[in-house]
């Protein structure tokens, strides 16, 4: 018994002589006795759980618009696209259909015996215009052209050929006219403009890229030659196959041919006049400066 214990002790001492010395660098925990709380991935060792360090990766469930997970974004790879050049400066014309116009006439929101302009359409309360969003007026669309049966005198900012034909087929008159931003603001809210006590300004002429449209008789532009407009009225009637009514013989001839001057903003109010809502009067200057 004692001999066997001595042999085992000698064997243990021989094993210790062959092993390296016990140091801090040799110490190891038992297998599976310690669990790593990290996930062992990404540059942070997994303690960020793959969501990165702060920012939208940790605070949101989605990345910002245009972020491509570290790649060079599309808007930087292709910084120039000619198609969108000047897109933010283009003039916008919210649509009004002929069907909507007919409904407003039938429901007495608009008086057909009076000239219709931008102020008339906004006063219905159904349409809004935002000049700050580059909206320069309304365009009349041909939706419901076959149901339009009213005889009116209307002024819009843009209209197609089919719309012009639908208006003139019923004996009406249509004009396309341009308004600058200041004139638009006065037309949208005349009361606010008159309360300032300032004279009514002159309407500015169209910009260079719009001159061709508003001087074209085929577009019924307000700067076009009246004789050319009469010719194009006949040409359009022959093209669409309807008999052109003679507005000269119409009892409402004066209303149908009512038209603003190229520098005029309101019907019946000339540039330079001051409208006093408090005194309920119109102040007219004696000598207006010449239009240069």
Directed axis angle between helix 161-169 and helix 226-240, to 10°? Answer: 90
Residue 118 domain-assigned (yes or no)? yes
Residue 34 domain-assigned (yes or no)? no
Rounded CA-CA distance 197/192 in Å is 10
Residue 269 domain-assigned (yes or no)? yes
Rounded CA-CA distance 153/155 in Å is 7
Domain count, the chain: 1
SS3 141: strand
Q: How do the pLDDT tens digits run along the chain, 292 residues long? A: 677 888 888 888 888 788 877 788 888 888 888 877 666 665 667 777 777 788 888 888 888 888 888 889 988 888 777 887 888 888 999 999 999 999 999 999 999 999 999 999 999 989 999 998 999 999 999 999 999 999 999 999 999 999 999 999 999 999 999 999 999 999 999 998 899 888 999 999 999 999 999 999 999 999 999 999 999 999 999 999 999 988 888 888 888 888 999 999 998 899 999 999 888 899 988 775 555 4
SS3 204: coil
What b-and-e string marks burial along 113-136, b requiring 16 or more CB atoms within 10 Å of the CB? eebbbbbbbbeeeeeebebeeebb
| Two structure tokens written together for 100 | 């909507």
| Two structure tokens written together for 1 | 């018994």
| Two structure tokens written together for 219 | 């577009």
Domain membership of residue 243 as a residue range: 88-283
Rounded CA-CA distance 194/191 in Å is 5
Bridge partners (DSSP) listed for residue 175: 155
């Amino acid at each position: 018994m004692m001999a066997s214990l001595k042999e085992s002790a000698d064997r243990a001492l021989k094993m210790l002589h062959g092993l390296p010395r016990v140091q801090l660098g040799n110490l190891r925990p038992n297998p599976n006795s310690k669990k790593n709380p990290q996930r062992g991935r990404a540059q942070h060792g997994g303690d960020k759980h793959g969501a990165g360090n702060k920012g939208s990766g940790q605070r949101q469930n989605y990345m910002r618009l245009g972020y491509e997970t570290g790649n060079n974004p599309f808007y930087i790879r292709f910084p120039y696209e000619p198609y969108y050049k000047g897109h933010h400066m283009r003039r916008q014309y919210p649509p009004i259909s002929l069907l909507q116009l007919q409904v407003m006439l039938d429901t007495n929101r608009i008086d057909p015996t009076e000239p219709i302009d931008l102020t008339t359409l906004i006063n219905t309360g159904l349409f809004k215009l935002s000049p700050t969003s580059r909206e320069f007026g309304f365009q009349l669309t041909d939706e419901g052209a076959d149901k339009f049966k009213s005889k009116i005198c209307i002024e819009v900012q843009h209209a197609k050929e089919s719309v012009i034909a639908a208006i003139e087929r019923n004996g009406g008159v249509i004009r396309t006219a341009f308004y600058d931003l200041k004139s638009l603001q006065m037309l949208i809210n005349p009361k606010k403009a008159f309360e300032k006590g300032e004279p009514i300004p002159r309407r500015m002429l169209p910009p260079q890229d719009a001159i061709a449209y508003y001087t074209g008789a085929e577009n019924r532009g307000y700067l076009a030659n009246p004789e050319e407009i009469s010719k194009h009225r006949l040409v359009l009637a022959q093209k669409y196959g309807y008999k052109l009514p003679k507005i000269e013989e119409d009892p409402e001839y004066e209303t149908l041919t009512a038209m603003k001057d190229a520098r005029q903003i309101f019907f019946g109010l000339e540039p330079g006049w001051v409208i006093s809502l408090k005194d309920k009067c119109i102040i007219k200057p004696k000598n207006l400066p010449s239009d240069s």
